[in-house]
Structure 1
Amino acid sequence: MRATELAARLLLALVFLAAVVGKLRTRAAFAGFVVSVGQFGVPARWTRPVARLAVAAEAAVVVLLAVGRTAPAGLLLAAGLLAVLTAAVVGALRRGARPACRCFGSADAPIGPRHVARNVALAAVAVLGLLGGAVAGPSLSPAAALLAAGVAVPLAAVAVRLDDLVALFAPTPSRTTRPAGRP
């Protein structure tokens, strides 16, 4: 079960690291995130502090997950933060709001059910990591650690680039074409 914990820690650390870097990579990226926080119903005077708190919590998850002794706290914080973010998305969707998902920086895709599903899946990963770490077992073999990383890295990439993957496979509207020379 230690492999499950390691895979969860790696996956979540990569996802939250991408979120922090995406939001802080430029002033414009952070400003866009602050604006999007307001679109989720946060009062204007609280958007900047809430945005800062969100980024600080995401960074804390990364740091806590990086150290074995603090990993359970990181997994708990990740699960709690994902629950809050999921509630914010669900609340916005229920109000009919569709702000852009600025989870990883400057994406323009509006939020939707896929963001709820992604957050719920990531929260489940955090819980599985907690359960996997709670089971005492032998130390992790190099092969098991490599397998955990081999599972975590591509899944993290899918979570981070979900909007791009959906856009890539979304059906495109077909255009009616007319043969040349006909009106």
Structure 2
Amino acid sequence: MAYVELAGRCLLGLVFLVAVTGKLRSRTAFDDFVASVAQFGLLPERWLPLTARLVLTGEAGIVLLLALPATVPAGYALAIGVLGILSAGMLTAVRRGRRPACLCFGAAGVPIGARHVARNLLLAAIAAGGLVASVATSGSPMRPAAALLAVATAVPLAALVVRLDDIVELFTASPVRAKPPVGPSGR
């Protein structure tokens, strides 16, 4: 069980690391992310930059907490909370007829939909399982080869999560791309 927990921890850490770096890779990327938050239509405009910063802080906190052995349970708990809030925001926006671009990983993508919510809920389930497993297996010794295999398993799984929209696009006849948000960067 400790190895499954390690794989889940690495998977979540990598996914959130890509999310943070994608949004912070440039000022334009951050501005586009703020503009995408506005497309959800859930918050007053004055709250958008703060909300975007809070999302980034939460995502960066998950990466940091999951990386430090003493704070792994807190990292899982934060991941569950962040993913729950993001999923609720997505569901609310879709129910209101809004389809903002998914800028979860910093690049303009397809309009949010069921697969994005499902992805978040799957990641939240992994975090919940990881939380239980991290408490149950705390301090369990690991064999280096098996631990390396657990980490190596997480890398392609994280890539699948991060590139999900691209993979779906490969297998659909007519992909629908969202219009990139027009942010303060003038794009």
* TM-score, normalised relative to structure 1: 0.91
1:125 maps to what in 2? Answer: 126
Q: Take 1:6 and 1:108, find their aligned partners in 2: how far apart are those partners?
A: 30
1:157 maps to what in 2? Answer: 159
Q: Take 2:120 and 2:69, find their aligned partners in 1: how far apart are those partners?
A: 24
Q: Take 1:89 and 1:151, find their aligned partners in 2: how far apart are those partners?
A: 29
> What do residues 60-113 of structure 1 show as CA deviations (whole Å, max 9, x unaligned)?
100000011101100100011000000011111101100000100022311010
Q: Take 2:166 and 2:44, find their aligned partners in 1: how far apart are those partners?
A: 30
Taking every aligned residue pair, what percent have the same amino acid on both sides?
A: 57
**Structure 1 position 2, deviation (Å):** 1.1
1:102 maps to what in 2? Answer: 103
**Structure 1 position 6, deviation (Å):** 0.8
> What do residues 26-64 of structure 1 show as CA deviations (whole Å, max 9, x unaligned)?
111000000111111221000000000100110010000
Q: Take 2:90 and 2:153, find their aligned partners in 1: how far apart are those partners?
A: 27
* TM-score, normalised relative to structure 2: 0.89
What is the number of residues matched between the two proteins?
173
Q: Take 1:172 and 1:69, find their aligned partners in 2: how far apart are those partners?
A: 47
1:90 maps to what in 2? Answer: 91
Structure 2: give runs of 5+ residues left out of the alignment: 176-187
1:176 maps to what in 2? Answer: none
Q: Take 1:143 and 1:96, find their aligned partners in 2: how far apart are those partners?
A: 49
Q: Secondary structure at the match of 1:123?
A: helix
Structure 1: give runs of 5+ residues left out of the alignment: 174-183
**Structure 1 position 172, deviation (Å):** 4.2
Alignment-mate amino acid for residue 37 of structure 1: V
Task: Give every structure 1 segment of 4 or more consecutive aligned residues whose post-TM-superposition deviation is greater than 3 Å.
Answer: none
Q: Take 2:126 and 2:10, find their aligned partners in 1: how far apart are those partners?
A: 11
Work out which of the two has the higher radius of gyration on C-alpha atoms and give 1 or 2: 1
